[in-house]
């Protein structure tokens, strides 16, 4: 799997857009970028994934650079409930798809009132 | 739908005691996983089960055993607990969706285990 690098922590004012960067400069052509988050003491929660096009769902937007070496998760209007650790994971489409997810240490996002 | 349910939520053991962590999912998923998370660290895979009747080791299997009892249930057993096994344990499951959705896993709320 491609290695990912994320800043250890970030702050964002409530109501503003939170932009969380992830560097994955060794990503391969068949690898997707996934984002999960873990709210304190809870299990990780899937947010969004993408290959090379920008993606948006009800939770967030994912912007992947044209060279695919980095991406940004955007929470458009951050609320206090978005305070969590955010994990960027790069995974290929495995033959059986039962491979583990490798969670690094992620970015601890704190939303400030 | 309850999703992925883990029991118990909290447990304290003495060194050498045994216990089984239970996990059940009601999403008709084929694959199930057990992870552990130590303070300030990411999750590490202990064991996984790609389908009913099969189990495989993850990156930290020593000291643990698992049983895929049926499609719904996947249990994790500590035969002789050690202080190094103090951790938060998460169970997860994954459905049959193809393509990139293969890497979407759904997690339980966790079991907080302390071994004294």
Question: How far apart, in Å, are the Cα atoms of B17 and each of B7, B14, B82, B89, B91?
Answer: 17, 6, 8, 17, 21
B37-70 CB burial, b ≥16 within 10 A, e <16:
beeeebbbbbbbbbeeeebeebebbeebebebee
Residue A8 in contact with partner chain B when CB distance is under 8 A: no
A34-65: pLDDT as tens digits: 999 999 889 999 999 999 989 999 999 999 99
Assign A95 a pLDDT band (cuts: 50, 70, 90): low
| Per-residue pLDDT at A97 exceeds 60 | no
- Which whole number is the average pLDDT over B53-57? 91
Instruction: Determine the pLDDT at residue B13.
Output: 96
Place of tokens 């969670």: A103
A62-75: pLDDT as tens digits: 999 999 999 999 99
Assign B43 a pLDDT band (cuts: 50, 70, 90): confident
Q: Which of A12, A47, A18, A19 is nearest to A33 (CA)?
A: A47
Site from A8, A47, A97, A102 to mutate, B interface, most B CB atoms within 10 angstroms: A97
- Distance separating alpha carbons of residues B32 and B93, to the nearest angstrom: 4
| Per-residue pLDDT at A96 exceeds 60 | no
Q: Which of A17, A1, A3 is nearest to A70 (CA)?
A: A3
Residue B47 in contact with partner chain A when CB distance is under 8 A: no
Assign B1 a pLDDT band (cuts: 50, 70, 90): low
Q: Which of A26, A39, A55, A16 is nearest to A87 (CA)?
A: A39
For residue A6, which residues of chain B lie inside 8 Å, CB to CB?
A: none
């Amino acid at each position: 799997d491609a290695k990912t690098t994320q800043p250890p922590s970030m702050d964002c004012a409530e109501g503003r857009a939170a932009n969380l960067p992830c560097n994955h400069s060794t990503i391969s052509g068949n690898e997707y970028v996934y984002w999960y988050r873990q709210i304190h003491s809870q299990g990780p929660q899937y947010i969004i994934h993408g290959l090379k096009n920008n993606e948006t769902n009800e939770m967030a937007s994912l912007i992947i650079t044209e060279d695919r070496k980095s991406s940004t998760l955007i929470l458009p209007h951050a609320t206090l409930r978005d305070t969590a650790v955010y994990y960027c994971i790069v995974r290929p489409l495995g033959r059986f798809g039962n491979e583990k997810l490798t969670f690094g240490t992620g970015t601890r996002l704190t939303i400030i009132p | 739908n309850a999703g992925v349910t883990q029991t118990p939520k909290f447990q304290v053991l003495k060194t050498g005691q045994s216990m089984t962590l239970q996990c059940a999912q009601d999403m008709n998923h084929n694959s199930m996983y057990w992870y552990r998370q130590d303070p300030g660290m990411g999750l590490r895979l202990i064991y996984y089960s790609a389908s009913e009747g099969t189990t495989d080791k993850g990156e930290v299997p020593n000291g643990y055993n698992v049983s895929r009892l049926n499609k719904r249930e996947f249990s994790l057993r500590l035969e002789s607990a050690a202080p190094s096994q103090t951790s938060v344990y998460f169970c997860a499951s994954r459905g049959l969706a193809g393509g990139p959705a293969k890497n979407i896993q759904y997690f339980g709320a966790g079991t907080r285990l302390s071994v004294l």
